[in-house]
Amino acid sequence: MTEGKKLLIIDDDPDFVEGILAILEPAGYDVETAYNPKDGFDALESKHYDLLLLDIMMGRGAEGVMIARKMRKDPKLRQIPVLIITGIREQIAYLFPGGPVHPHFVDVDELVEKPVEPELLLDRVSALIEASEERKAEGS
Q: Which residues bind other proteins (CB under 8 A)?
A: 12, 14, 17-18, 32-33, 35-39, 56-63, 65-66, 69-70, 88-92, 94-102, 105-106
- Mark residue 106 as left, alpha or beta (left: phi above 0; alpha: psi -120 to 50; beta: remaining): beta
For other proteins, the closer of residues 105 and 127 by Cβ is: 105
Long-range residue pairs from 119-126, CB within 8 A, at least 24 positions apart, any chain: 121/20, 121/23, 121/24, 121/85, 122/23, 122/24, 122/27, 124/83, 125/7, 125/24, 125/29, 125/51, 125/53, 125/83, 126/1, 126/2
For other proteins, the closer of residues 98 and 139 by Cβ is: 98
For other proteins, the closer of residues 91 and 120 by Cβ is: 91
Query: Shortest gap between Cβ of 59 and other proteins (angstroms)?
Result: 5
For other proteins, the closer of residues 77 and 106 by Cβ is: 106
